[in-house]
Amino acid sequence: MKNRIFLFLIVVMISCESDSVSPTGVYTVQGYVYYLGDLANSVTVSIDGQYNWSSTTSNDGYFSISGVSEGNHELRYRKENVLDQSASDSLGFTEKTISISVYDDVVLDHLRLPKVVYLYPAEDIGVTGARVLWSPTDDESFREYKLFRHITSGLDETTGTLVHVSTSLTDTTFFDEDLEPYQEYFYRIYVMNDFGKLGGSNLISFYTSNIQLLTNGGFENNSATNPIGWDMVPNTGNSIEIDSLFSYEGSNSLKFSHNSPSGCWEMWIYQYIDGSLLTGGSAYNISMRYTADFDENTFFNLIISNSSMNEWITIPLEFNDSQQWSELDFTFELPNEVGTGQTKIDLHFCVEGVRTWWLDDIEIVKVTP
């Protein structure tokens, strides 16, 4: 009899111990996801970022996740490649994160995805700026738009530069004026609420406009005999003047006359430009038409200088006395540090003997970003 009572007590003790270490209850979380009023398929639903607590909605927007432990969790639902207006490699996404309490099976019968934001093609593209526009989201938990810019397509919050933040749902345009000439830029916008992202837009890109750095390179705008925008230094006994009887294009060219039979009395023309128009490390091209009354292979120096640089670029010229216009097309590269202040551009000649030459249609443009 004593043995039976002892065995009964052991069984009761084991039973009580088993009840005290029983695992927490697990439940099922299920529901339906909608986008713009329609049931949304191919939506990824996950809880706490756990791989084994994830699902993808079916064609009728339904998902089910089983084995979820009881307690408080974060449920995120996300749909990729929403924008079929965009290129296949730059589609937008929409997502939302909510808090859920799981102490029984949970049914979420109307989870609503925010309206995805669409970046339109940029407008008012200029040399140093452009206007970026986007469609608004429609989520009531909206906190802000964050617009990012980069010079490659690998653009996200970590690689891009944050150029604009707006906390107004209807503020959907921004003019970015901190750009460089002839440079490709990429943009993407993210929509945020207090939990994090509500979505990300498609990716857009464009090139800013190129710029002709020099003004009045054809010498058509003049005050008396002086070309507007240019300063001229002929040096003693020489002359630099507008020639309205001989030109490659238009009505005028610029005529240089070196009048000393011996030695080189240097002659140059120059003008100032805004140094912020230059891009360090980029390639530029100088082009012009030229002719002369003599035959000689010579050169001139293109000098670009400011407080940060003093570049002397030697450029060959093949003068001939045929009175036929030749074409110069020469590419050069600027140093990485070019400064942003007032920048002087000189065309500097050193020609010996009694000689005359003419220049027309001078241009300097950027040729690589």
Q: Report yes or no on 4 lying in a domain.
A: no
Give the number of residues written for the chain: 369
**Amino acid in position 247:** S
> Could you tell me the CATH number of the domain that includes residue 202?
2.60.40.10
288's CB contacts (< 8 A; 6+ apart) are 217, 327, 328, 359, 360, 361, 362, 363
Asked whether residue 285 falls in the same domain as residue 239, the answer is yes
In angstroms, the CA 59 to CA 48 distance is 24
Q: Report yes or no on 334 lying in a domain.
A: yes
- Find out whether 271 and 345 touch, Cβ atoms under 8 Å: yes
Q: Which residue has the tokens 């009887």?
A: 245
- Find out whether 356 and 257 touch, Cβ atoms under 8 Å: yes
Name the phi and psi angles at 277, rounded to 5.
-80, -10
Range of the domain at 104: 26-113
Asked whether residue 247 falls in the same domain as residue 362, the answer is yes
Structural domains of the chain, count = 3
> Could you tell me the CATH number of the domain that includes residue 311?
2.60.120.260
310-319 and 296-305 beta bridge pairing: antiparallel
Asked whether residue 227 falls in the same domain as residue 186, the answer is no
Q: Report yes or no on 244 lying in a domain.
A: yes
Asked whether residue 38 falls in the same domain as residue 100, the answer is yes
In the listed set 207, 234, 258, which residue is the last one of a domain according to the structure?
207
Q: Report yes or no on 311 lying in a domain.
A: yes
Kindly state the helix (H) or strand (E) to which residue 317 belongs, with its residue range: strand 310-319
Q: Report yes or no on 217 lying in a domain.
A: no
Q: Report yes or no on 98 lying in a domain.
A: yes
Asked whether residue 176 falls in the same domain as residue 50, the answer is no
Asked whether residue 203 falls in the same domain as residue 227, the answer is no
Asked whether residue 319 falls in the same domain as residue 230, the answer is yes
- Find out whether 318 and 300 touch, Cβ atoms under 8 Å: no
pTM of the predicted model as reported, rounded to 2 decimal places: 0.76
- Judged on CB neighbours under 10 Å (0-12, 13-18, 19+), 63 is buried
Asked whether residue 195 falls in the same domain as residue 149, the answer is yes
Q: Report yes or no on 235 lying in a domain.
A: yes
In the listed set 61, 82, 113, which residue is the last one of a domain according to the structure?
113
Q: Report yes or no on 283 lying in a domain.
A: yes
Q: Which residue has the tokens 């002369």?
A: 292
Successive 10-residue mean pLDDT values, the chain, 369 residues:
44 40 75 95 96 97 97 96 52 93 97 95 96 95 97 93 97 95 96 94 95 96 91 94 96 96 93 94 97 94 97 95 91 95 97 95 93
- Looking at residue 84, its pLDDT comes to 52
In the listed set 207, 235, 267, which residue is the last one of a domain according to the structure?
207
- Looking at residue 91, its pLDDT comes to 79
- Looking at residue 21, its pLDDT comes to 37
State both tokens at 287.
Answer: 């082009």
State both tokens at 220.
Answer: 């058509």
140's CB contacts (< 8 A; 6+ apart) are none
Asked whether residue 255 falls in the same domain as residue 332, the answer is yes
Asked whether residue 95 falls in the same domain as residue 170, the answer is no
Kindly state the helix (H) or strand (E) to which residue 309 belongs, with its residue range: none
Asked whether residue 228 falls in the same domain as residue 358, the answer is yes
Asked whether residue 40 falls in the same domain as residue 157, the answer is no
341's CB contacts (< 8 A; 6+ apart) are 275, 306, 307, 308
26-35 and 62-69 beta bridge pairing: antiparallel
